Amino acid sequence: MFFASALTWPRPRGRAGDDLCHDERTVTIDQAPTRRERKKLETRQALEQAALRLFAEQGYEQTTVEDIAEAADVAVRTFFRYFSSKQDVLSGDVVTDRVKRLRSELAARPPAEPPIESLLVVMDLLDFDGPEEEEQILARMHLMRQQPSFVSRYLEIIDDMRMAVVEFVATRTGLDPRRHLYPMLLAGACAASWDASLKLWVESGATVSLRDLRHEAFAALSAGLPAPPEAIEPSS
C-alpha cells in the first residue's frame, strides 16, 4: 500500500508542451508469437482456468496446488514456473497486465494533452476485451466475496493503478506530489471511479456498460478539481 517515505517520485519535467521539439516516437511491428510462446501461453491459461473452476467448485482453501496442476494436466513444478502461489493465480494476467498497460498507454499520450483527457482515453483503452475477459473478471470478483483475504490483493492492484496515475500526472504537470495535491487528487478520482464502476458492473452481472458507469463516476469525482497549478521550482 501507499507509504510516502518508500516512494521514489519521477523528476518533474515542467508543464506539458515544454518539450514538444523532443517528441520522439518509435514505430514497432508486431510479430506473431513463436510456437514456444504459444505453448507457454496455453499452459498458463489452462492453469488459470483450472484454478478458477476448482476454487468455485470446492473452495479456495480446499484446493491445493497439486489439484490445480492435475486438473491442467501438468506437473506441480510447471505450476510454479508460472505462478508463485494460489493467490497469484487469482490475480491473473487479465488483472495485473492492466497496471503495466496503464503505464505504457499513459506514457504514449501526446505531451500537450491535458492529463484528464489522457486518463479518459486510456481508461477506455483498458476496457475488457470481449466476453472471455469479462467472464474471468466476474469469476475473480465473485471469489473475492467468498474469500475475504483476496480483498487485500484487490486493494493493492487498485493502489498500483492509482500510483501509476500519480506518477504520470506529476511528470506531465511538473508538480511534486509530495508538495502538491493535484496529482494525488486526480489519481484518487481515477482509482475510485474504476473501483466503484467495477463493483456496480459485477452486481449487475455484467448487464450494464462498465464504460458508461466509469465515465459517470469519473466525471462526478473530477468535476470539482481546478486546473493544475503552475509548477513551482524548488528553491536552491
Burial code (b: 16+ CB inside 10 Å, e: under 16) for 157-176 equals bbebbbbbbbbbbbbbbbbb
CATH number of 35-83: 1.10.10.60
Total-model pTM: 0.71
To the nearest 10°, the Cα dihedral for 48, 52, 55, 56?
-170
Q: What is the pLDDT of residue 235?
A: 36
* Separation between Cα atoms, residue 157 and residue 98, nearest integer Å: 9
Closest C-alpha to 139, from 209, 89, 71, 192: 89
166 SS3 class? helix
Q: Where do the CATH 1.10.357.10 domains begin and end in the chain? A: 85-227
Fold of 85-227: Tetracycline Repressor; domain 2 (1.10.357)
Q: What is the pLDDT of residue 87?
A: 78
pLDDT at 92 over 50: yes
Q: What is the pLDDT of residue 90?
A: 76
C-alpha cell at 73: 494436466
pLDDT at 22 over 50: no
Span 87-112, average pLDDT? 84
Q: What is the pLDDT of residue 93?
A: 66
Chain mean pLDDT for the chain: 81
**Pick from 84-93, 176-185, 198-207: least confident:** 84-93
Q: How confident is the model at residue 19 (pLDDT cuts 50, 70, 90)?
A: very low
Q: Where do the CATH 1.10.10.60 domains begin and end in the chain? A: 35-83
26 SS3 class? coil
* Separation between Cα atoms, residue 157 and residue 225, nearest integer Å: 24
Cα torsion angle, 6, 175, 178, 98, sign: negative
Span 52-79, average pLDDT? 90
Environment class of residue 207 by beta-carbon count within 10 Å: exposed (0-12), middle (13-18) or buried (19+)?
A: exposed
The CA distances from residue 13 to 37, 114, 230, in Å, are: 38, 15, 12
User: Which tens digit of pLDDT belongs to each residue from 126-175?
Assistant: 888 788 778 878 888 888 777 776 788 788 889 999 999 999 999 999 99
